[in-house]
Amino acid sequence: MEHFMKRFNLSNNKGFTLTEMIVTIVIIGILLSILVPGMLKYIEKAKDKQFMVNARSAYIAVQDNLLETFGSSNIVTFIEVIADYQSKGAAGLTASDIEGIPETGNVIMDIKAMNDIGLTGNSIDENTGEILALEYREGNKYIQYVKAKGWTNVAVSP
């Protein structure tokens, strides 16, 4: 019986050695150094997708507002609305101008204020009320829509 007690005596249990603990910490560090950069890329992609969703929401809000104005007023009033949108310049339209534009962004309708879009003239078709070009900005990020080309990739202002 005494031999049995010595064999299973808990006081002899010393736990993990320092070497085992250090090896475990090093392995965890190596795994984290591999995983963290990949996670940061996924986070950045998710932010760009959210930015794109915001831009499309702003596009829909502005287009809806234009078509509503186009359908309910005379052509002179509509042309005045277009001129007002384009006169905002680089400051653009915000959530206080049109409901549906995200609070964090603004919509540029003035072609001259857009980042190298490659168009001249109006950004809105005066005959149909359709948006021909638009730039959506949040901070230093922007994305452009051109009717003939569609949406560009998210870019950072220089």
Structure tokens at 126: 């005066």
Q: What percent of the chain has pLDDT over 90?
A: 27
Spatial separation of the C-alpha atoms in residues 13 and 16, rounded to whole Å:
9
Q: Which has more pLDDT, 155 or 52?
A: 52
- Above 90 in pLDDT, residue 110? no
- Report the pLDDT averaged over residues 92-116: 84
Confidence band of 65 (pLDDT split at 50, 70, 90)? confident
pTM score, two decimals?
A: 0.72
pLDDT, position 8: 57
Q: Tell me which H or E stretch contains 156.
A: strand 155-156
- Report the pLDDT averaged over residues 25-37: 94
Q: Do 93 and 107 contact (CB within 8 A), yes or no? A: yes
3-state SS assignment for residue 61: helix
Q: Which is nearest to 105 in space by CA: 83, 80, 134?
A: 134
pLDDT, position 132: 86
- Above 60 in pLDDT, residue 1? no
- For the stretch 76-100, pLDDT in tens is 777 888 888 888 877 888 888 888 8
Distance set, CA 9 to CA 1, 6, 12, 138 (Å): 12, 5, 6, 67
